[in-house]
Every structure is written in structure tokens, then in C-alpha cells.
Structure 1
Amino acid sequence: MFQGKRGAFAALVGVGLWCTVGNGIGWAEAAAEANPEKAKYVFLFIGDGMGIAQRNAAELYLANQKGLKRPEEAKLVMNTFPAQGMNTTYDLSSVIPDSASTATAIATGFKTKSGVIGMDADGKNAYQSITELAKSKGRKIGVLSTVSLDHATPAAFYAHVPSRQHMYDISMQLAASGFDYFAGGQMAQPTDTQDETKPSAIETAKSNGYTVAVGRAEFEKLTAGSGKVIAMNTIVDEDKAMYYAMDQSGKDHVTMAEYVTKGISVLDNPNGFLMMVEGGKIDWACHANDAAASIHDTLAFDQAVSEAVKFYEKHPKETLIVVTGDHETGGMTIGFAGTKYSSFVDKIQHQKMSYIEFDKKLAEYKKAHNPADAKLEDMLPTIKEAFGLYMMPENEKAALEASVA
């Protein structure tokens, strides 16, 4: 594939479990061959914070939803790939890395310290990314993410900054990258909040020849003839990220699977392409201990993978798909001795919204009521709607207390 960087890339790609499909060989196997086959089309999927536990949880959920007894009867598409492997994710400053350092390792083949993007641990020397190398070889490049496009993971594929907090600088490097297709959330910091005289990254991108498509209507007009594209969702959260998959209701939300499908069309060219796709909010849900949101975003991520697999089935000799995580988030566990290690996966089926959407409803209630007048009882219908939880009837409570007395 991309010779000269492959060895380093193969050695560092992934977290916990990575898998590949395409042209009969994966990154590690290809690196070991003297004359490896070259992939014309490359998909790199990164589930941020996604380890084995997140993938297994999604399969458990699917199996329960379908009334199946065993999770392997409801496999994720990415879990059916023929080549799979394990690796380590520590960086140069911590055994618990962040997305900046791990994405840098995946993108460049070099470990760095937490918080640094595309540079060495001192933040002085920039590393060439696999996407920059591919672009120099004539490939078209796509960078997609469910979080903001200037967030740590996508940034590692086009930017070089000593701190992930330098989001304006990252946005400006996006605008100057010359890459062909950016899609997903919006930019968190397209302007310099400290200096209003500096140019906007959005306007700079337009000046550099980018078509900026915001919302579904503009997204659906995009074709292979659209040139360089930045496609952003109209509906985003306060961090400029796409909504959690379970909260995406209505046709105005463009899904990551749709962005991948459109990306294939926009990037289509005789020289091939490399598309990096991040499921960024798997990580955020796990930070918040929201199992249901994590599961639904993992399922949405898998749907995006399935779109790449459809493309692979049409071009099996020319396509490589790599699916991985950058690190695991949350240390997910299920069951404990007090419940005889029962899983209770069926309870997750009752959750209909993420913690963020519930927090919005709680904030609305608090805004409309004085603290002295606020009552838990007022929120019970909302709690039941959101999580399927309800107050135990007094007779059941009395019986339970009597049973343990």
C-alpha cells in the first residue's frame, strides 16, 4: 500500500482489538511481505474509546433486542473481519493516553505525549501523517468525525500542534490542508477568540476552494464534481459535535453512514483514496458512563463500516478496510457478585435518550420552578420516558424490606 510508512503504521494501528478486510492481507501481514499488494482504496475507521468491551456490549444489546440467546448470533459487521489483532496504547507520558497522542500514533507511526497532535513530545518537530503521504502520492483524502472536525482524532490526520487545545490553529490547518473531503460535526473554534482580527477558518477554506455544505439539502447536492468539500451537520451539540445516534430524530440529521457513502462518491478518482472515519462520541458516552449512548453510537459506527464493506464487495482486489479504536474509555464492566453476575442487558432497551438529552429536560424543569417548589414526582414521567425507571409501589417496597429483615 503506502510504502515507506507501512511498517510503522502497521505496528501502531489500533487499540485492544483491530481488524481488517481487503485484498487478502492486513497491515501487519502486508508489512512482512517483500512485495505486498497495494490497495487503491483505503478506509480507516477509528472508534474513539472503543475497545473489546464496547463492541461486545453492542452485540449483547443486539442479541437481546432480537431475542437471541448468544451475542455471537448478532455479530457486528466489524467483528466478522478475517484478520484481527491486539496491541498496546500507552503514550510517552502516560499508560492512560488521550486521543491526541493515540491518533498521532495511528496517523504517523510515532508515539508522542498526551495532548500533542502530529508532533514529537517536545512539540517542536512535525511528523508526516499517512494521509499527507497518501495525498503526495496522488490519492484523494477524506477525514470524517461525529465530533467537531477540529477535535483531537481527526486533527491528527491533517494538523501539527503542540497542544490539542489550539483548536483555532487546527481549524486553520484544516482549511490549508488541501484534503478533499471533511464531514461530520462542525468546527468548535473556527475563529480566534483572543484576536477577532484573525481570519475565520471557514472563510479561509472557501478562499482556498472548498465548498462548505451545511445541512442535508446542501449535503445531498454533493457529487464527484463538487471539488474539495467540507460537509457539516446543521444540528450539533454545544461542542459542535453531531448528536448521539440515539438522539438523532428527524431527517435533518445526516448520519455517519451517509457521510461515508457520500464520501465514496466525492473522493472517486482514478488514483484512489484514503478515508479516515472517527466514531468520536463512543468515547464521550463512556466518559459519562452512559452505556446505552455508547452502544447506539457503536452500532451507528458499525453501520458506517458496512457502507465501506459494500464498496469493498464491488472492488475486492483493490480495497483495504481497517477498523480500530485509539484507546478504551470507561473500563466497562457488567455484573457483580451481589447480583450473581447477572447482566440485565434487557434493561438498557428501555433507555430512549442519552444523558445529554435528559439533562436538557431537567434544566428546562429547573428553569421553570423555584427550588422550594421542585419535586421529584414532577420528573417521574420524564425519567420513565428516558430510562424506563419508575418508583417502586409501596406494597412492593414493603414486601422487599420484609424479605431482607
Structure 2
Amino acid sequence: MFNGDSNSNSESLLFSLTTFTTALFVLEFGADKFVDHTAIVAARTGVSQALIGLLTAGAEWEELVVVVASIARHRSSLAIGNIVGSAVSNILGAFSLGLLFYKGRDGLVFDRSSRIYSALLLGLTVVVAALTAWKPADRGVKRAVGGVLCAVFAVYVASIAWAISRGKITAPEGSDSDSDSDGGGDSSEATSDSDEEQTVRPFGSSVDSTPARTNGNLETSPLLQTDIQSPTKPRRNRPPRHTLWYHAAMLIVGFLAICASSYQLSYAASAIVDFFGISDVLFGVVVLSLATTLPEKFIASISGLRGHAGILVANTVGSNIFLLSLCMGVLWSSTDGEYDGESVNNVELGVLVGSTVALTLTVWFGARWSRWIGGAMVAGYVAFIVVEFVVVRKV
């Protein structure tokens, strides 16, 4: 598409870059609407708030749509690069910011559920990395493995729902893209609905924003926690400002915005890759993954600043479990593990496993050195990007 004169090529590149940038804003808008109104619809219809909170705390629906759009456009190499690159970026580029932004005197304290889920993520990452590097003689094997990964995600969600129903854990406080950006009517509507049933509060909620101290240690929010009403502030019984149909319609609008923007991202990314002649994997691992994980970086920074260690872990761990189970499962089920171009190599898989090991060790043993670890992770992420361009892919 870029075989014309230089002016035509420049205009095509400018259009692709503009489309890519615009799609990011639409993606953020769609994610906010989808999360906010899903929570309200769940409260109105009696669907489990805990399950809704889980799916919005660590779900990467925009990444899934990017993967599906890439597969539809026969750019499966872009999809595998985006999955692995986003998983690395969630740890080295987002979790690290949360560690750096923490301002408390004492080190971050990670609760038992944070440790459990970080260990589960490590196990899943090792298995998926090994399967990614494995090239079976029978192409149908990867399709079957993809189906198993999708089933693993379903079991993961079901197990969380069961544990919540048994009272073993509680619902998430934050969400993947849930922020104050929705503003005004929707946030007040969520507050109104919470008078009848618990809802997932926006991340910037002031409720339980000050960590409590237990036995002299700073106790941060758990990985999955409930919305607690302040005893000094009476409940306000206000009628809902909008009907259920309004919130259902806005939920659909948000989801359609996610789908449309993700398709635009995939299309624009393919055009940019073709123009510069770089590989789909490189663009997916570095540029596309960096762009699509911007919401995670924002949430991680704020959670670290406010001392919400549990939300920091939930944001990272939940996102990576989503990527490596559902997104990778859909990719392998659709392609048999055969890509239109290159695949990720052992260096990139090694960085993925190594960064996950670093996250798990930090949650289990390294909380007191969290700020130093965060700085090391950021430096490692910059080094990873440089090595990708200069050594691994040799652009």
C-alpha cells in the first residue's frame, strides 16, 4: 500500500499514526464505560458483584479484541508479540511504577492472597512459556492446548466465584480501567446504587484509603476486598438517576468502543509495520503492548501512591493470567500455533519468565526493598526495549 510517491507514503504513515493515537483514546473511553456500567447493571440485576469485580480488576478485554482482530487480518505474529510484550510490560512497566510511587516509610506489606495469586501466575507463566517454545510435529496439538488454556481461564474465574461465595476471599476494590474519568452522573449513580447493594467503587474512592496498622506493621488492602461503609457517614438513600436500560445500553456502547478501537489499533499497527519494514513481533512486543497497557500503568502508579499493595498485585497478576490463559488460548485455538511470520524467541520468553519470578519474589520476600526493586525493574524494561531493537531483532 506504500508503493506510491514519497508524499503518498508520508500521508499514509501520518494517517496510520493518527489512527493509532486516536484509537488509544477511544479504547480508554470504551474501557471506562464498559467497567462502570457493567458494575451498575450487575448491582441492579443481582449478578454477583464479586465476580464482576474480578473480571474488571484484572481483565484485558481490549487485549483480547486486539488479538482477535490481528487473527482476522492474518497477522497472528502481531498477536503473539502483543500478548508476550503486554505481559512483560505489566510487570516491568506497570508493577514497577507502583513500587516506585509508594511513599510510605515502611515497606509494602502484601497479604496472603497476593502471595497465592503471584505463585499461581508464576506457574502458569512457566508452563505457557515452555509450550510457546515447543514446536510439536502435529499441528493439532497446539489447537488442543489452546482449548485447555481457555478452560483454565474458565476454571480460574469459577474458582474465584466459588471462593467468594464461601467467604474465603472478598471482592476487588479497583478495576482494570475503572477511574474517575467517567465522572459526573455515572459515578454518582454508582454511589446511589451502592445504597441497596455493594458495587465496585472507582479506583479513586476515598473509602479505606488510609491503611491500618496491625502489630506495628502497615496493613495494606487485600488483593480482593469489599467496599466498607464509613461508620461516621450515614447512608444516603437516593433514587437511581438512570434506568437499567440506560446502563445496559452504555455497557454495549463501551464494549463496541473497545472492539472498534482495538480493530483500529491492529489495522494501524499493521500499516506502520509495513511502512518501516519491521517485524510484527517486534512491533507487538514493544510498541503495541506499551500502548495497550497504559491503563494498567496508571492504576499501578495510583495504587502504589496510596499504599494499596493488594490492588497493585491484582492489577498485574489478573491481567497476566487473562493474557496467558484466555488470549493465548484463543490464539492457539485459531492458528494451531502457526503464525504468518515470526514468533517470539527464547530471549523474549526468558524475560517474561524472569520478570514473573521477580514479581513473585518481591511479593513473598522483597517488600521492604520495594522501591529499589521498582527502580531495577524500570531499568530492566528500558534495557529490554533497547536490546529488542539493537540485538534481538536488529532493526
Bin for the TM-score computed over the shorter chain: under 0.3
**Larger radius of gyration, structure 1 or 2?**
1
Higher RCO (Cα < 8 Å, 6 or more apart): 2
Decide which structure has greater strand share.
1
Decide which structure has greater helix share.
2
- The alignment's TM-score, normalised by the length of structure 2, stands at 0.27
- The alignment's TM-score, normalised by the length of structure 1, stands at 0.26
